Amino acid sequence: MTIGAVFEDLVAEAAAAPVDGWDFSWLDGRATEARPSWGYQRLLGSRLASAQAALDLETGGGEVLDGCPALPPVSVATESWPPNIARAAARLRPRGVLVVATTEIPFADEVFDLVSSRHPVTTRWTEIARVLRPGGTYFSQQVGPASVFELVEFFRGPQPPAVRESRHPDHAVTAASAAGLEVADLRSESLRTEFSDIGAVVYFLRKVIWLVPGFTVERYRGKLRELHELIERDGPFVAHSTRFLIEARKP
């Protein structure tokens, strides 16, 4: 099989793969990403076990929340992407979780003692502070600055400093404090990520849509072929994901 045929087959396979939910198992054997040392799901599970009312924002397909062994008597999750809403509802409702289809936080003041989110697109600090009870906690693992930017800049070119630093944890601390929350824990790590074939890249960019906005195979076919040849020649394409963990409490 020629290099061109391999490229077309890999791209076609990845372009046809479903990308609903927040499950990356399609990438098994094709891409790897180191995990943060703190173990977000384990830490979240310990907090959920002692909570009375919890809200998980941007829950995706509900995979992380469902992986926690014990859920509070009142458990609510929000999600806005229709394919994920259906997956989250099917997964979480049997466990007593109310899944709300929304991009907002449409709940009364001071009703939750725990609000969580894993990799939120936007953190609505003022609204989070509003729905937290006094003494309540916001607990979140977030994407940090310039995450996977080796891949982003391969397709989009060099990004300005303001874009590279837009998700810096210092900004989260400032926003949390402005909303009246006290940051109790803040940790950050850079994590090695490898893409072993061009299909993995296509799938990843189709799923994580904000990295290369407007990504389609046809629009970026030239850059995809260039990257395919680079991987074939030099081995896996290496990038670095950044993550930070933040825990903030309402006085």
DSSP 110: T
Q: Which residue in 118, 128, 114 sits closest to 51, CA to CA?
A: 114
- Determine the Cα–Cα distance for residues 135 and 12; give it in Å rounded to an integer: 51
Task: Give the chain's domains with CATH numbers.
Answer: 3-249 (3.40.50.150)
At 64, is the secondary structure helix, strand, or coil?
helix
**Cα separation, 176 vs 160, whole angstroms:** 25
Supply the pLDDT for residue 1: 46
pLDDT in tens, 209-244: 999 999 999 999 999 999 999 999 999 999 999 999
Handedness of CA 126, 132, 138, 142 (dihedral sign): negative
Distances (CA, A) of 175 to 90, 94, 116: 34, 36, 16
pLDDT digits (tens, 9 = 90+) for 85-99: 999 999 999 999 999
pLDDT of 175 reads 98
Amino acid letter for position 139 = F
Q: Which amino acid is at 108?
A: A
Sheet containing 74-79, strands listed edge to edge, beginning at the edge strand earlier in sequence? 31-33, 182-195, 237-249, 132-143, 112-118, 53-57, 74-79, 97-101
Tokens 């894993």 correspond to 118
Tell me the pLDDT of the chain (251 aa) as tens digits: 445 679 999 999 999 999 887 789 999 999 999 999 999 999 999 999 999 999 999 999 999 999 999 999 999 999 998 989 999 999 999 999 999 999 999 999 999 999 999 999 999 999 999 999 999 999 999 999 999 999 999 999 999 999 999 999 999 999 999 999 999 999 999 999 999 999 999 999 999 999 999 999 999 999 999 999 999 999 999 999 999 999 999 99
